[in-house]
Amino acid sequence: MRTSWADSEEAEAAAVPSTIINNGVVPNSGAAAAAAVSGNSRPARSAYVPPHLRNRPPSSTPPPPAVSAPPAANTRWGGGGGGGGRSGGSFGGAASNTRTGGWDRGREREVNPFGDDVDVEPPFVQQENSGINFDAYEDIPVDTSGDNVPPAVNSFSEIDLGDALNLNIRRCKYVKPTPVQRHAIPISIAGRDLMACAQTGSGKTAAFCFPIISGIMKGQYAQRPRGSRTAYPLALILSPTRELSCQIHDEAKKFSYQTGVRVVVAYGGAPINQQLRDLERGVDILVATPGRLVDLLERARISLQMVQYLALDEADRMLDMGFEPQIRRIVEQMDMPPRGVRQTMLFSATFPKEIQRLASDFLANYIFLAVGRVGSSTDLIVQRVEFVQESDKRSHLMDLLHAQRENGTHGKQALTLVFVETKKGADALEHWLCINGFPATSIHGDRSQQEREHALRLFKSGATPILVATDVAARGLDIPHVAHVVNFDLPNDIDDYVHRIGRTGRAGKTGLATAFFNENNSSLARGLAELMQESNQEVPAWLSRYAARSSYGGGGRNRRSGGGRFGGRDFRRDTSFNRSGGGGDYYGGGRSNSGYGASGSSYGGGGYGAGVTSAWD
DNA sequence: GACCCAG
């Protein structure tokens, strides 16, 4: 499960000598590659299974003859997916015939992430679905809008994802798809663009990984340029933090085991040389943070011209002020195929309408999908708000921690995650907790990547059961056993609050979220009070008064919270967002036919309602 | 203010 660069160093050492096949093709010109892209821009994701994938045992085929050649970029690794594509090329029939799935396990040492084979490797710490209460999902509210929405499926077997992927799904102990998977996977398999409000705890990562992996396995892709040091991924998955990219990479690798689909992660703070070597050995799916990706693009070590699939995790964050220019540059100003040619999938739990509108620049005739959650699960997280002056916060936190210690809700199985506003504040609080007898560590952007990963490991293992964090840890991270999230400093944005408290109460477990509120947070009062009310939480009278005060002053409005909060609703259906005359563009030529209106009322006026309070992410 | 290349 580890993807830190320190660990991949090991994998690298084990993986040489390279078995990558070099067919000797002269580095391709951009034009040729572009032609290849446009000629195969939407690979058919039909039920067709290439012969070499039919009835294929997991790892029975012997390795091909070793080919001595310098590592070539983008050679399909392990074969499984028809990477050879056109066997008419100089690749040669022999080579492609030998590239059946898993042939090179002994040579490339593809680590078995499941620990059920010869390779002994610790099993994944999280088999998230196994802890999910599926009964609670049965009547979950789901909304879709857009043209010709493909119907949802009820089982993985209804979709032909391919044998190797299906085997991995079974190994993950995923018995049946979660609601977001039931809806998002058919949409993606159909080749449609997607904006999905979904939840990590219910398998969001799988929801975009399965179609990508399956599509690459089945796709008949033109030979990617070789011989140069430029890598040509077929899929790009972007996320806002390094740790989240690592987590997605771990998941994607698990799903890709013995499929022949190669997953590489690239993020900042780690030595770039290792990542360059990984890329040289071939990449189908690239998981990256924006900064390092831009760096690699500028070095011409990556080209996006073969990208067929683009997925943005935490998409609203990626398109928020801080990231949007970089994302726009990557998606629009590099060599990535344009929208409508590539397939684009955006995932997040919170999707403010302003961000939805921005996002529509990257999408073509997309489907909007919102997965709510049953009201009963709301109670999994108890939200408390306490009025605490700045000067009293530390002693108040100490009281909470002492109480937890007495309750026994402290330690390996009851982790406490404390969010603060600033990096300095994180350091200070960590130090203060330590000298007061509470072992704590911290994660924030001023720590080295090694320190960040180390802190996360200490916390996850329970060795240090308190983690002080900035918003770097607010989104997406799946940390089991977080029993308590403390908003020592509340965020300025209610969406950030939603993501923060979503670190607890995951996978059917209960959670507690405590917030320290004072005058400095008055701009959040209204959103907080509304959210708590929707979540059937007790709203303190004083908070309601704050909320009432800020409601007419316009005080708490910011760009992300104005006009409909949690994005549980397609902005294209909001007429106020279509007034500029460009509304038709958002639809790409058609109106919703999903009957949204009929079920929309159950959403309680456009929010996630109860859904925002828990594992939904 | 936080997060996102490199050094």
Quick check: helix, strand or coil at residue A442? strand
Share of chain A above pLDDT 90, in %: 51
Give the pLDDT confidence score for residue A108 in this predicted structure.
59
Compute the distance between CA of residue A118 and CA of residue A189 in angstroms, rounded to an integer. 33
pLDDT at res. A138: 59
Confidence band of A200 (pLDDT split at 50, 70, 90): low
CA distances from A101 to A22, A218, A568 (A): 18, 12, 41
Block residue for tokens 């994998």: A11
Q: Tell me, yes or no, whether A238 lies in a domain.
A: yes
Q: Are A266 and A286 in contact (CB under 8 A)?
A: yes
Measured CA distances, A183 to A58, A152, A439, A479 (Å):
28, 5, 43, 25
Of all nucleotides, the one whose C1′ comes closest to residue A452's CA is B3
- Give yes or no for residue A135 having a pLDDT over 80: no
Nucleotide nearest to A321 (CA to C1'): B3
| pLDDT (average), residues A601-612 | 30
Bases of chain B within 7 A of a CB of the protein: 1-7
User: Looking at residues A501-509, what average pLDDT do you find?
Assistant: 79
CA at A365, C1' at B4: how many angstroms apart? 29
Q: What pLDDT does A588 receive?
A: 37
As a rounded value in angstroms, the CA-to-C1' distance for A263 and B1 is: 34
Can you count the helices (H) and strands (E) in chain A?
21, 14
Please, what is the angle between helix A272-280 and helix A5-15, to 10°? 40
Task: Give the residue-averaged pLDDT of A43-62.
Answer: 35
Q: Which of A550, A569, A602 is the last residue of a domain?
A: A550
For range A398-422, the mean pLDDT: 87
Is pLDDT at A53 greater than 60 in this prediction?
A: no
Distance A429 CA to B3 C1' (A): 20
Asked which of A371, A393, A425 is the last residue of a domain, the reply is A371
List the single protein residue with the shortest CA to C1' distance from B7.
A269
Q: Which nucleotide, over all strands, has the C1' atom closest to the CA of A272?
A: B6
Q: How far is the CA of A452 from the C1' of B2 (A)?
A: 16
Phi and psi at residue A117, to the nearest 5°:
-120, -160
The string of pLDDT tens digits covering residues A519-538 is 999 999 998 998 888 888 99
Q: Check pLDDT > 80 for residue A70.
A: no
pLDDT at residue A220 in the model: 77
* Nearest residue, CA→C1' of B2: A471
pLDDT at A430: 96
Give the model's pLDDT for residue A36.
39
Q: How far is the CA of A239 from the C1' of B6 (A)?
A: 19
The verdict on A348 and A386 lying in the same domain is: no
Residue A576 has what pLDDT?
63
Q: Are residues A316 and A387 in the same domain?
A: no
Query: Do residues A306 and A329 share a domain?
Result: yes
Q: Which nucleotide has its C1' atom closest to residue A295's CA? A: B5
Measured CA A115 to C1' B2 distance, in angstroms: 38
Q: What are phi and psi of A512, to 5 degrees?
A: -125, 140
Phi, psi of A411, deg, nearest 5 = 120, -160
Distance from CA(A320) to C1'(B4), angstroms, rounded = 12
Q: Closest nucleotide to A445's CA, by C1' atom?
A: B3
Angle at A524 between CA A521 and CA A525, to 5 degrees: 90
CA of A210 to C1' of B7 (A): 38
> Do A160 and A240 sit in the same domain of this protein?
yes
| Greatest extent of chain A over all pairs of C-alpha atoms, in Å | 75
Q: Which range, of A143-152, A365-374, A446-455, A551-560, averages the lowest pLDDT?
A: A551-560
Q: Which residue has the higher pLDDT, A474 or A131?
A: A474
pLDDT of residue A440: 95
Distance, angstroms, CA A577 to C1' B1?
29
pLDDT at residue A266 greater than cutoff 50 = yes
Tell me: do A201 and A333 sit in the same domain: yes
In a domain, A457, yes or no: yes
A269 CA – B3 C1', rounded, Å: 13
Say if residue A282 is in the same domain as residue A385: no
Interatomic CA distance for residues A205 and A403, integer angstroms: 36
Q: Which residue is closest, via its CA, to the C1' of B4? A: A291
Nearest nucleotide to A292 (CA to C1') is B5
Q: What is the pLDDT of residue A373?
A: 52
Is A50 a domain residue?
A: no
- A91 or A285, which is more confident? A285
**CA-based R_g, chain A, Å:** 24
- What integer is the mean pLDDT of A210-225? 87
* Nearest nt (C1') from A290 Cα: B4
CA–C1' distance A469–B1 (Å)? 14
Closest nt to A423 (CA→C1')? Answer: B2
Amino acid A467 CA to nucleotide B5 C1' distance, rounded Å = 27
The parent domain of residue A412 ranges over: 381-550
| Residue A283, in any domain of the structure | yes
The better pLDDT of the pair A26, A299 is held by: A299
Q: Check whether residue A363 and residue A402 sit in a common domain.
A: no
Identify whether the C-beta of residue A288 lies closer than 8 Å to the C-beta of residue A331: no
A314 plus A461 within the same structural domain: no
Q: Six-digit token pair at A281?
A: 């050995």
State the nucleotide closest to A422 in CA–C1' terms.
Answer: B1
> A179 and A158, same structural domain?
yes
CA separation for the pair A107, A466 (Å, rounded)? 42
**A463 exposure class (CB count in 10 Å sphere: 0-12, 13-18, 19+):** exposed
Q: pLDDT tens digit string along A286-342? A: 999 999 999 999 999 999 999 999 999 999 999 998 899 999 999 999 999 999 999
Report if residue A59 sits inside a domain. no
A390 and A367 belong to one structural domain:
no
User: pLDDT at residue A52 above 70?
Assistant: no
The spacing between the Cα labelled CA in A242 and the C1' in B6, in angstroms, equals 16
Contact A113, A121 (CB under 8 A): yes
Question: Which of the pair, A10 or A164, is modelled with greater confidence?
Answer: A164
- How far, in Å, is the CA of A470 from the C1' of nucleotide B2? 7
Confidence tier at A235 by pLDDT (50, 70, 90)? very high
Q: Kindly report the number of other CB atoms within 10 A of residue A574's CB atom.
A: 17
The candidate with the shortest Cα–Cα distance to A292, out of A608, A513, A5, A585, is A5
Judged by C1' against the alpha carbon of A268, the nearest nucleotide is: B5
Q: Is the pLDDT of residue A492 over 80?
A: yes
Q: Which residues put CB within 7 Å of chain B, the nucleic strand?
A: A 240-242, 267-272, 289-292, 294-295, 320-323, 326, 421-425, 444-446, 470-472, 491-493, 496
At A350 the pLDDT is: 84
Query: In this predicted structure, what is the pLDDT of residue A545?
Result: 93
A242 CA to B3 C1' in angstroms comes to 10
Q: Which nucleotide comes closest to A294 if you measure CA to C1'?
A: B5
Residue at the smallest CA–C1' distance to nucleotide B6: A295
The domain tally of chain A equals 2
Question: Which of A550, A577, A611 delimits the end of a domain?
Answer: A550
Task: Say what the pLDDT of residue A474 is.
Answer: 93
How much is the pLDDT for A17? Answer: 35
- Answer yes or no: are the C-beta atoms of A536 and A378 closer than 8 Å: yes
Q: Give the CATH number of the domain where residue A275 resides.
A: 3.40.50.300
pLDDT bracket for residue A488 (50, 70, 90): very high
Nearest-CA residue to the C1' of B3? A472
Of all nucleotides in the shown strands, which has a C1' nearest the CA of A245? B4
Task: Please determine, for residue A23, whether its predicted confidence score (pLDDT) is greater than 60.
Answer: no
Q: Is residue A289 a part of any domain in this protein?
A: yes
Q: So what's the pLDDT on residue A11? A: 42
Question: Do A210 and A236 reside in the same domain of the chain?
Answer: yes
Judged against a pLDDT cut of 80, whether residue A225 lies above it is answered with: no
Chain centroid, CA A21 distance in Å: 32
pLDDT of residue A65: 36
Range with lowest mean pLDDT among A85-94, A303-312, A466-475? A85-94
User: Which 3 state secondary structure label does DSSP give A133?
Assistant: coil
pLDDT at A368 over 80: yes
Regarding whether A385 and A271 lie in a shared domain, the answer is no
pLDDT range class, residue A455, cuts 50, 70, 90: very high
Q: What is the mean pLDDT of chain A?
A: 74
Instruction: Give DSSP secondary structure letters for A331-362.
Output: HHSSSPPPBTTBEEEEEES---HHHHHHHGGG
Distance B1 C1' – A470 CA (angstroms): 10
CA distance A481 to A212: 30
The DSSP string of A135-202 is GGGTT--EEEESSSPPPP-SSGGGS---HHHHHHHHHTT--S--HHHHHHHHHHHTT--EEEE--GGG
Residue A502 CA to B1 C1' — how many Å?
A: 21
A169-177 contact pairs (CB < 8 A, 24+): A169/A210, A169/A255, A171/A114, A171/A116, A171/A257, A172/A114, A172/A124, A172/A127, A172/A129, A172/A254, A172/A255, A173/A127, A173/A129, A173/A130, A174/A129, A174/A203, A174/A206, A175/A129, A175/A134, A176/A134, A177/A153, A177/A203
- Which strands make up the sheet holding A511-517, listed edge to edge? A381-387, A511-517, A482-487, A415-419, A466-469, A440-443
Pair of tokens at residue A137:
């999902």
Residue A248 confidence (pLDDT) above 70: yes
pLDDT band at A505 (very low <50, low <70, confident <90, very high): confident
Let me know if residue A588 belongs to a domain.
no
Please check whether residue A304 lies inside any domain of the structure: yes
Residue A320: nearest nucleotide (C-alpha to C1'): B3
Cα gap A520→A526, rounded to integer Å: 13
Q: Which range scores top for mean pLDDT: A58-62, A136-140, A429-433?
A: A429-433
- Residue in the block written with tokens 């899929």: A235
